[in-house]
Structures are given as structure tokens and as C-alpha cells.
């Protein structure tokens, strides 16, 4: 049997950023649901402790994400952000199921990353206003809690889809290896991310990628 050929898909910084966000999200989701659902709140019966867990997890998350972003910008993360922000004709064809050749991220992953980043900012702002509003009633805005709760429901939908694709769906669950080990099977990459796979296996890929960004 021929040895498996792999391609490095994610750097250590990218993986650390993903898992820091994922870990904090689950803690915030769990503690938030306890605060939000009366039955859970009664079951746990330690509301003040749960509020502290929710608050300090949010602070730790924001600090760690900011630190990883600052440290990672000089180690390839800037190019990753540009990849996620850049939509081209292939991305549109992929969304329309017309055979678009995906790069390192397909159009669905780009939209998910953008939505996740936007939700994170809105969660942080609304969460701060909810916390500060308890201390200064001038900042107790009527729609803040509606926004925070609405973001939670929307995030649950995105999370369910993300977990299904990464853990259950046969053709996409191999992607989990990339975010855990950093590498993916070259054959799988060629099927699901052909444009990126071709560049990744080309010895001149660095100059080609730079030229693609300049022309894009």
C-alpha cells in the first residue's frame, strides 16, 4: 500500500485560534443556557456562580483571541484573513452548485467564518451592555437582551451544521483532521479544494499565491 500523501492545511496559530474560540463558545453556551432557561437555573441553583463563569470566560476568550490575532498576523494569519474575505467567480459557482473550484476554503466556509466573526463582535458588545446595564441603568437598552438571545439561536443553527459536516457527513468529516493535526489527505484535498491542492503541491506556489492576491 502506498503511503498516504498529506498537505498542511492549517498552521498552529490557526488551530489555536479555532480551538480557543470553540472551547470558550461551549462554556459560554452552557453557562448562558443555565442563565436563560428557568428549569436549568433551578436545577443548578448557583446563578451567581454561573454568571461569574459566563463573564470571566467571555473576558478570557476576548483576551486570548486578541492575543492570537496580534501574534498570528506576522505568521500567515493575515493571508488567511484575506483568503476568507475574498470571493471570486469560483466561489459563486460553488454556491450555485455549478462546479466552482474551491481554494483552501470553499464559499460556504468563508461565509461561516465571516458570520462567526460578526457574531463574536455582536456577542461581545451586547454582553458588555448587559453587564454594564446592571451597574448603570442608562446603558440598560431594551433590545440588547433580544439581540444577545437572537445571536444564541442563530449560533446554535450554525453550530449544528458545522458539527454535522465535520463529524458525521462522510465526504466532509475528513476536514476535522486538518484542524486537529494540521494536515489533510492530498487526494481528499484534490477533490474538495482542487485549486488550493494544486497550488499546495506546486513548488512555486508561494509566488503564485502572491500573484493571485495581487491580481484579485
**Residue 115, domain CATH:** 1.20.950.20
In a domain, residue 201? The reply is yes
**Does a structural domain hold residue 148?**
yes
Cβ atoms 172, 189 nearer than 8 A: no
- Return the ∠ at Cα 24 (arms to 23 and 30), rounded to 5°: 95
Supply the range of the domain harboring residue 199.
7-215
- Share the mean pLDDT of the chain: 88
For the stretch 46-67, pLDDT in tens is 889 999 999 999 999 999 999 9
Per residue in 84-109, is it b (16+ CB within 10 Å) or e — as a string?
A: beeeeebbeebeeeeebbbbbbbbeb
Establish if 2 belongs to a structural domain: no
Give how far Cα 48 sits from Cα of 29, 44, 51, 53, 216, Å.
16, 11, 5, 9, 51
Distance CA 191, CA 107 (A): 15
| Cα–Cα distance for residue pair 10/200, rounded to 1 Å | 12
Enumerate helices (H) and strands (E) in the chain, giving the number of each: 11, 2
Q: How far apart are the C-alpha atoms of 133 and 144, rounded to whole Å?
A: 10
| Residue at 1 is within a domain | no
User: Residue 44 domain-assigned?
Assistant: yes
Q: What is the pLDDT of residue 140?
A: 82
Q: What is the distance between the alpha carbons of residues 86 and 156, in angstroms, rounded to a whole number?
A: 26
Does residue 63 belong to any structural domain of this protein? yes
Q: Could you tell me whether strands 6-8 and 183-185 are parallel, antiparallel, or unpaired per DSSP bridges?
A: antiparallel
Measured distance CA(125)–CA(148) in Å, rounded: 9
Does a structural domain hold residue 19?
yes
Within-domain flag for 20: yes
- Digits of tens for pLDDT over the chain (216 positions)? 556 789 999 999 999 999 999 999 999 999 999 988 888 888 888 889 999 999 999 999 999 999 999 988 877 889 999 999 999 999 999 999 888 899 999 999 999 999 999 999 999 999 999 999 988 888 788 889 999 999 999 999 999 999 999 999 999 999 999 999 999 999 999 999 999 999 887 645 544 444 443 343
- Total domain count, the chain: 1
Q: What confidence score (pLDDT) does residue 139 get?
A: 79
Amino acid at each position: 500500500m502506498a503511503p498516504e500523501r498529506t498537505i498542511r492545511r492549517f498552521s498552529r496559530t490557526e488551530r489555536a485560534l479555532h480551538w480557543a474560540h470553540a472551547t470558550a463558545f461551549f462554556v459560554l453556551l452552557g453557562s448562558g443556557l443555565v442563565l436563560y432557561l428557568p428549569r436549568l437555573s433551578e436545577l443548578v441553583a448557583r446563578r451567581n456562580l454561573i454568571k461569574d463563569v459566563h463573564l470571566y470566560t467571555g473576558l478570557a476568550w476576548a483576551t486570548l483571541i486578541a492575543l492570537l490575532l496580534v501574534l498570528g498576523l506576522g505568521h500567515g494569519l493575515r493571508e488567511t484573513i484575506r483568503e476568507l474575505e475574498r470571493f471570486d467567480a469560483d466561489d459563486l459557482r460553488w454556491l450555485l452548485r455549478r462546479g466552482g473550484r474551491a481554494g483552501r476554503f470553499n464559499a460556504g466556509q468563508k461565509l461561516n467564518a465571516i458570520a462567526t466573526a460578526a457574531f463574536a463582535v455582536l456577542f461581545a458588545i451586547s454582553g458588555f451592555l448587559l453587564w454594564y446595564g446592571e451597574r448603570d441603568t442608562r446603558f440598560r437598552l431594551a433590545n440588547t437582551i433580544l439581540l444577545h438571545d437572537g445571536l444564541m439561536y442563530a449560533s446554535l443553527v450554525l453550530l449544528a451544521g458545522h458539527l454535522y459536516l465535520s463529524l458525521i457527513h462522510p465526504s466532509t468529516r475528513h476536514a476535522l483532521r486538518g484542524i486537529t493535526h494540521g494536515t489533510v489527505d492530498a487526494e481528499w484535498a484534490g477533490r474538495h479544494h482542487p485549486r488550493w491542492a494544486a497550488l499546495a503541491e506546486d513548488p512555486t506556489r508561494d509566488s503564485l499565491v502572491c500573484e493571485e492576491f495581487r491580481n484579485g
